[in-house]
Structure 1
Amino acid sequence: MKIRQTKIEAFSLQEMMVVLIITTVVVGMAFTVLNLVQRQMGSIETIYTMKTDVNQFRQSLWIDFSMYSYVHFDNKNNVLRFSNEMGERTYEVLNKSSISNENLEIEIESIAFYFDNQQVLYGEIDAISITTSKETGHQEIFAFKENTPVTYINKQK
């Protein structure tokens, strides 16, 4: 009786080494791509936060321009003051490089005040134009209010 030797099929050591090297390269590439995606997500989050802050500031200005009847810029104290019979709200212009209210502060490149379609440096205003800084995306913010006859009567006094 013959004893038959059967060969067990398996991978050779060289084949296993090739598989391990290929797996190492693929996993290394996956970690590199993951790192790039995480950095990109961080950049997107930063831009989103910045744009959200500017949009909130824009909305705050629009609400204040529509809610308050008297808007005045005091250039000595660098304060933009909104007021009516019910109350007052202020925005502070800090060194012509940022503007803030109680909740938000944004960096600005330029700010201009207008009354009756004419640029003014101080006093009563009915519109404001703000250009945000490079860090906040050079966005334009423009807010205005409709003047009532009372505004012009008070201006003549």
Structure 2
Amino acid sequence: MKTKVKAFTLNEMVIVMIISTVVIGLAFTVLSLVQKHMWAIQENLKFNTELNRLEEVLWIDINNYNMLFYNDKKNVLKFKTILDSTSYQFHDNYVLRDKDSFHLKIDKQRYYFNGVQVYQGKVDAMKLSMSRQHKDLDLFVFKLNDAKRLMD
């Protein structure tokens, strides 16, 4: 008794393999696109987190310390009170606050006292401009002057 076993022909198998190859190729292409977008989202989140941390710490320090001084030669911003002080050092790719670092590239720094831009000495406001790759974001922090500050 000869019975025929049902099976696919060689042509049918080749067509199935070609279709499978195309589907798997499309799946990997979509996966790589999704991964690229996820990396971009992660980098964006990382930058925004660092920027928010820096902004929060600057606002806290500018309101806690009553004397602010900027040294253009050393590129250092100092916050002082009678009992305590802290300093910010601005480097090419990061900002250092005492032992804390913020990995942000700041293109321009502008410091103001009573609405006039200063390059050294007392400061009551600052504008930090981020790099162009981050859509020209600016960070502006200011301190309201009291009578004691204006008398010094």
Instruction: Specify every segment of 5 or more residues in structure 2 that has no aligned partner in the other structure, as ranges.
Output: none
- Normalising by structure 1, we get a TM-score of 0.83
1:100 to 79, 89, 96: 96
Counterpart-to-counterpart distance in 1, 2:58 and 2:88: 9
Shift in alpha-carbon separation, 1:9–1:67, aligned structure 2, 3 A? same
| 2:109 pairs with 1:111 | yes
Match of 1:85 in 2: 82
Counterpart-to-counterpart distance in 2, 1:141 and 1:67: 19
Residue by residue, what CA displacement relative to the aligned partner does 1:97-132 show, whole Å, maximum 9, x if unpaired?
764323224221111111111111111111001101
1:22 to 19, 33, 36: 19
Match of 1:134 in 2: 132
Match of 2:41 in 1: 44
Counterpart-to-counterpart distance in 1, 2:29 and 2:120: 55
| 2:42 pairs with 1:66 | no
Counterpart-to-counterpart distance in 2, 1:33 and 1:98: 35
Counterpart-to-counterpart distance in 2, 1:38 and 1:61: 35
Task: Give % identity.
Answer: 33
CA-based RMSD: 2.2
Match of 1:13 in 2: 10
Asked if the contact 1:57/1:104 (under 8 Å) is kept, the reply is no
Counterpart-to-counterpart distance in 1, 2:27 and 2:134: 33
Q: Quick one: which amino acid aligns to residue 100 of structure 1?
A: L
Moved more, 43-52 or 142-151: 43-52
Counterpart-to-counterpart distance in 1, 2:119 and 2:60: 23
Counterpart-to-counterpart distance in 1, 2:21 and 2:64: 64
How far off is 1:25 after superposition?
0.9
Asked if the contact 1:51/1:136 (under 8 Å) is kept, the reply is no
Asked if the contact 2:94/2:101 (under 8 Å) is kept, the reply is no
Instruction: Specify every segment of 5 or more residues in structure 1 that has no aligned partner in the other structure, as ranges.
Output: none
Residue by residue, what CA displacement relative to the aligned partner does 1:54-108 show, whole Å, maximum 9, x if unpaired?
221111111111111111112233211001133101011337x764323224221
- Dislocated runs of 4+, deviation >2 Å: 5-13, 75-78, 97-100, 134-138
